[in-house]
């Protein structure tokens, strides 16, 4: 045991939680969740991640780190017209699809066959709205927002992983000290609130299916790539199946999908954690402990976010998604032969189109795949 093991695990947990919690809050608001339901969402998803990371790391003796799907949360936040009950129904369907993917290898291979350009174009179309909205916060409160943006781009030169967290903490303190926050809420322990699911065709097609595809393409496949880059070669099916199972258990309490982590995993799997790869699995239990703490105090954290200026929350969410946006755009446009398909996917997804009650992420994917299909027909 080295001190670097718990330190790496706690840093990964703090960065993953603090840097993207604003996106979960935005997702909950988009489906009309109350503050109690939002707190339950955060609590349940943190509990799921804690159990998954602990079990998978101990079972495989590899640093298997899980996370919530940040692109998935962005997808939910960008949606409209869904209720919390419909969202829970969609989360259950997504979880079943993930379990099926873990059990059926052909399904994993089928998802892997979706062109990276199209999948990345869809992801870029989802998250670009958040980046644009972050810029739009400047006129609302320039004296608060502009220094935070400057701090973000300076800090990311030295530590990109902590730059969003620094903006969140610094912005919160600045808002409190300048009287933008009336007062902090009283501390309270979290509780779980059951939400009965509602299954509708529009939510299944427009929310569950895109959430599944985004989770697989941008999270699970990336998480597996991070593990392989560090010299680990776990069997993908059981890992995806376990995250799907715990997503199924946590969904009735409002929690969206959990999956293999990419950025957080990179912090826990490298040689800085421990020179012996066989010892790095111990980051899993410490990471689980951190998320157990977050689960216990999830209600208080949600209450704090509720009193912070809305412009600050929008800014933090937008800044947290700038790196995923840049990465998605670079992958989408990398293959010259598929640039048109990627561009069409991006444009349709970013448009916010709703057709037959189905959201733009699904139609963006369909449009991109149609263009790819036409291009392939021409080549033949």
**Is residue 57's pLDDT more than 90?**
yes
Residue 93's pLDDT is 97
* Contact between 61 and 234 (Cβ < 8 Å): no
* Contact between 253 and 95 (Cβ < 8 Å): no
DSSP one-letter string for 39-108: HHHHHHHHHHHHHHHHHHHHHHTS---EEE-HHHHHHHHH--S--HHHHHHHHHHHHHHHHHHHH-HHHH
332 vs 321 pLDDT, higher one: 332
* Contact between 348 and 125 (Cβ < 8 Å): yes
Give the tens place of pLDDT for each residue, 333-380.
888 888 999 999 999 988 888 776 666 777 888 899 899 888 878 776
Q: How far apart are CA 75 and CA 91, in angstroms?
A: 12
User: Residue 175: CB partners within 8 Å, gap ≥ 6?
Assistant: 144, 181, 308, 309, 312
Tokens (6 digits) for 282: 């111990």
211 vs 307 pLDDT, higher one: 211
314: pLDDT confidence band, cut at 50, 70 and 90?
confident
Give the pLDDT mean for 76-93: 93
Percent of the chain residues past pLDDT 70, beyond the cut: 97
Residue 356's pLDDT is 66
Q: Residue 273 phi/psi, 5° resolution?
A: -70, -50
Residue 87's pLDDT is 96
| Number of domains the chain is built from | 1
219: pLDDT confidence band, cut at 50, 70 and 90?
confident
Residue 330's pLDDT is 87
Beta bridge partners of 358: 355
Lowest mean pLDDT among 27-36, 242-251, 256-265, 279-288: 256-265
Residue 37's pLDDT is 94
Query: What range does the domain containing 82 cover?
Result: 4-379
Q: How far apart are CA 325 and CA 189, in angstroms?
A: 35
Furthest-apart CA pair in the chain: how many Å? 66
89: pLDDT confidence band, cut at 50, 70 and 90?
very high
The closest of 216, 219, 234, 259 to 111, measured between CA atoms, is 216
Beta strand 258-260 with 66-68 is: antiparallel
63: pLDDT confidence band, cut at 50, 70 and 90?
very high
251 vs 11 pLDDT, higher one: 251
Give the tens place of pLDDT for each residue, 277-290.
899 899 999 999 99
Q: How far apart are CA 35 and CA 307, in angstroms?
A: 11
**Is residue 161's pLDDT more than 70?**
no
Q: How many CB atoms lie within 10 A of CB 194?
A: 11
Residue 56's pLDDT is 95
84 vs 369 pLDDT, higher one: 84
Residue 129's pLDDT is 85
Give the tens place of pLDDT for each residue, 113-159.
778 788 788 878 877 888 898 899 999 889 989 999 999 999 888 87
Most confident of 106-110, 144-148, 214-218: 144-148
Residue 326's pLDDT is 84
**Is residue 258's pLDDT more than 90?**
yes
Residue 159's pLDDT is 77
């Amino acid at each position: 045991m080295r001190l670097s093991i718990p330190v790496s695990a706690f840093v990964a947990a703090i960065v993953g939680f603090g840097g993207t919690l604003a996106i979960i809050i935005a997702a909950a608001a988009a489906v009309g969740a109350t503050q109690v339901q939002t707190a339950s969402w955060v609590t349940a998803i943190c509990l799921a991640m804690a159990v998954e990371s602990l079990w998978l790391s101990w079972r495989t003796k590899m640093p298997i780190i899980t996370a919530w799907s940040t692109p998935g949360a962005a997808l939910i936040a960008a949606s409209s017209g869904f209720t919390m009950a419909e969202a829970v129904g969609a989360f259950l369907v997504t979880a079943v699809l993930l379990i099926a993917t873990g059990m059926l290898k052909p399904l994993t291979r089928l998802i892997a066959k979706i062109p990276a350009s199209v999948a990345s174009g869809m992801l870029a179309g989802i998250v670009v709205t958040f980046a644009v909205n972050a810029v739009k916060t400047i006129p609302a409160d320039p004296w608060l927002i502009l220094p935070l943006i400057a701090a973000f781009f300076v800090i990311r030169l030295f530590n990109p992983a902590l730059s969003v967290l620094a903006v969140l903490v610094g912005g919160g303190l600045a808002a409190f000290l300048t009287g933008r926050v009336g007062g902090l809420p009283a501390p309270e322990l979290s509780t779980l609130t059951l939400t009965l699911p509602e299954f509708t065709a529009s939510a299944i097609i427009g929310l569950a299916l895109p959430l599944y595809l985004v989770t697989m393409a941008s999270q699970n496949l990336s998480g597996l790539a991070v593990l392989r880059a560090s010299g680990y070669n776990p069997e993908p099916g059981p890992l995806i199946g376990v995250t799907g199972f715990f997503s199924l258990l946590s969904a009735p309490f409002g929690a969206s999908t959990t999956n293999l982590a990419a950025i957080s995993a990179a912090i826990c799997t490298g040689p800085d954690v421990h020179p012996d790869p066989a010892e790095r699995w111990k980051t899993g239990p410490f990471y689980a402990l951190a998320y157990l703490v977050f689960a216990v105090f999830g209600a208080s954290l949600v209450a704090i976010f509720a009193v912070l200026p809305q412009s600050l929350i929008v800014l933090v969410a937008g800044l947290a998604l700038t790196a995923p946006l840049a990465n998605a755009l670079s992958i989408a446009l990398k293959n010259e032969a598929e640039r048109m398909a990627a561009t069409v996917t991006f444009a349709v997804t970013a448009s916010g189109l709703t057709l037959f009650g189905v959201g733009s992420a699904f139609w963006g994917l369909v449009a991109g795949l149609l263009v790819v299909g036409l291009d392939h027909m021409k080549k033949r």
